[in-house]
Amino acid sequence: MVQGQGKQEAILQAALALLAERGFHGTPMSLVAQRAGVSPGTIYHYFTSKEELIRVLFQQVKADFSQTVLAGMTLSSPAATQLKQIWLRAFAYYCAHPQEAAFLEQYETSPYLQEDPVKPEATAVVWYQLIHNYQANGLIKTMPIPVLYELTLGVAIRLARQHNAGHLTLDKKTLAQVADICWQSVKA
């Protein structure tokens, strides 16, 4: 059995692994409890429902992704350099964290996001501000942020998925070229 404060983290990690492997509907709370090494009732001490557990997990994973991608961001760098760095970090994150990647994709295409959108974490706010500043200064095309996301980070995510599945191997030079192509697709 897991002890103390580690219980909540054990529940979140068990949920992450199971949700990535089995999906939302194939992951009952009893299985999460079993994998976490806690009683089913213990989960409800930390989370009122499976939906809350999933939302908390999403906030945690999305915050980790955003912090990783925006870490060490130098705002004095040119926009092209910044976006290419973000692209390369996003690719690396998704390659290194396949469970988180699978979970994020499930969540972001599920009714959870539409039914009860979570407030963006601080790093996501930085991302949106960065994009708005780029647009206001005429550095990137004025188009909806979800479109910009798909043309840049969406490409990184899809390529990382192919890499993780063993269908694609990209060297650093090719990754830099792809990041540049993504920049070219959104620059003004």
Q: Which residue has the tokens 């539409």?
A: 114
pLDDT digits (tens, 9 = 90+) for 27-45: 999 999 999 999 989 999 9
From 44, 40, 89, select the one nearest 69 (Cα to Cα): 89
CB 148 within 8 A of CB 182: no
- Pairwise pLDDT comparison (37 vs 121), residue with the higher score: 37
Domain harbouring 24, CATH code: 1.10.10.60
Cβ of 71: how many Cβ atoms within 10 Å? 10
CB 70 within 8 A of CB 86: yes
In a domain, 84, yes or no: yes
Domain harbouring 71, CATH code: 1.10.357.10
Q: What is the pTM of this model?
A: 0.84
- Pairwise pLDDT comparison (25 vs 110), residue with the higher score: 25
Q: Which residue has the tokens 């079993």?
A: 34
pLDDT digits (tens, 9 = 90+) for 150-184: 899 899 999 999 999 999 999 999 999 999 999 99
Q: Which residue has the tokens 């997990």?
A: 57
CA 26 and chain centroid, separation: 21
The whole domain housing 34 covers: 1-47
